[in-house]
Structure 1
Amino acid sequence: MSKQAFEEANEAFVDEKYQQAYELYTKALNNDDKTDNRYTSKIFASRAQCSLKLNNYSDALNDSNDALQLDEANIKAYLRKGVSLYHQNIKEQALQVFIRGLEFDATNEQLKIWHDKCEKELSENKSVNAIVPQQIKIKHSFYQTDSTVNIQIPIKGLRKDQVHIESTDSTLKVSTKIPASGHDYLLEIELAYSIDSSRTNFNVTNTNIEIKLYKRQAIQWMSLDAQSTKVKAQPPVPMSGPLVEKTPSYPSSSQRAKNWDKVEAEIKKDEKENKDDMGDANAIFQRLYKDSDEKTRRAMNKSMYESGGTCLNMNWEEVSKGRVTCEPPDVNLNI
């Protein structure tokens, strides 16, 4: 059953029906009794070739590894493993796989071709990396006024003549070499908004490159970069419009907003109208009595009556327990 499916898969592969062949190889594996490691390894390697044709490189790598676990001398599995690694841009590891395969069969032409191809490309990449200086990214920051954008790049130990600034009305380019490492630094920005490039200037301190750009319009820059999502998300916001100061709103648990200025005015008015009364004890009593509930009034009446007008108690729970008296405080006189 497994061998029949395997033969049908081979026929489908020759007819370039790769998906059908993959499914038939899978059927062959499912029906395989797993008693012959070399035969099972052969099915895995064949299915790996299908995956390569379908550009499923990770599947090809997995099947190649399974094939080699069952038969380490399976040359086709080495070839397909190396090719799958190559297409995943893991070329150094791919080269090692081709070298290992050639140890089992030094005459295999396909292994030789892929070995030489990998070795050549890796050698060329090393040469390019040696020629092209490494560029370092450094996080820059900026702040702004309604007329300028001021950029700061934190690089220490530079002189002004070591920094090169180029700007147009829509771009900025900054280049220098970092003293601490010798690496190149390059910043290229397509600016969010237009500037007057004729006025661009910069300064270099012990710790920063400081660049000043002059805006064409007094608008808020959400980012320096025109490609930023912040810039694209909303229209420009003017910075030079009249500022309207908002009266502070104090915290409140009320669901409805209160006009605290109005409340304050009413309090001051009330204080003014009752200024004379506030100094009169009888008037104070009358105001308290007027705003109290029934129990509080009873407490006030009882305490004032029983104390001869010298003690006012508004707590009925205390007053109801007995007669209210007003006793002078204990004073110990030592003469």
Structure 2
Amino acid sequence: MSTPPPPHALFAMDPVHLHELFPPALMSRLRRLVRIDPALVVRDFTDPAAAAALNRAEVLITGWGCPHLGAPVLDGAPRLRTVLHAAGSVRHLVGEPFWARGLTLSSAVRANALPVAEYTLAAILLSGKDAFGLRERFRTERAYPAPTEYAAVGNLGRRVGLIGASRVGRRVLELLRPFDLAVSLYDPYVDAVEAARLGAVPLPLDELLRTSTVVSVHAPDIPETRGMLSRERLALIPDGGVLINTSRGALVDHTALTEELVRGRLGAVLDVTDPEPLPADSPLHGLPNVFLTPHIAGSLGNELARLGGTVVAELERMAAGLPPEHPVRRAELAISA
């Protein structure tokens, strides 16, 4: 009995990412699994060449820059059965027409969570040592502080609060286990038994803020979470506390946060802001108690190959007749990124 030919596939993303997502060895593996033209990377499904390829595609390999897969796109893809997203969130990508078709969707969100968690771990530990603030002071004064000025510095028993047991949040909790930290968690979907299994004490949000000197945000950007760190809640964080945000800027009242940071009452490590990027005249750019990075916590550079590798691994499972390892289910999107 003859082996059926590999399925037709199509890339749909910003082409600038393609070669980092699928370096040569990974692209070779991919091309043994599907019939795909690496020179055709679609950003506009109405383009005639794209329309022809979409019409025969059984698999769509998407990434950052892929247009929304609405009804007109799906109408032009009668053979489509699987979408493999070589990035994180798919909330912008699919809607009701997609789910009505009963298509399979997989995302590399778990792979993308790894570098975000690593960034967060580094930020927590460096914040506990006041490395960011002391670095700025050392650069200005060019002299060591007196030993008595280190009384509040150190990570032994430091209270760290995580907001959200997302994939990133769970990986952060895993990475924190070897350290002598007191870790608490706020997540309305996690009970005490699961929190204990994750290595954290479950707390209501306001109590977590009152009792944590480092607060790290890992909740999804959904209507229920936007602005959750309001002026009143930011005021609960103890003096000298540090807010770390690698999730979304919209979860924080940035006007109130800016006021707290300008006053010097709090510090912050911000990889995301609202708006993003911040205006050039934002005072946060010049504050010694603020460590700003340009949305780098997620996969960048050679880390993108981890996302492409997730897609190739899913294709290998498909070829073996197995279900995807990283499926996205409609019900999950209401409470996830």
Structure ranking higher in helix proportion: 1
TM-score relative to the length of structure 2: 0.23
TM-score relative to the length of structure 1: 0.23
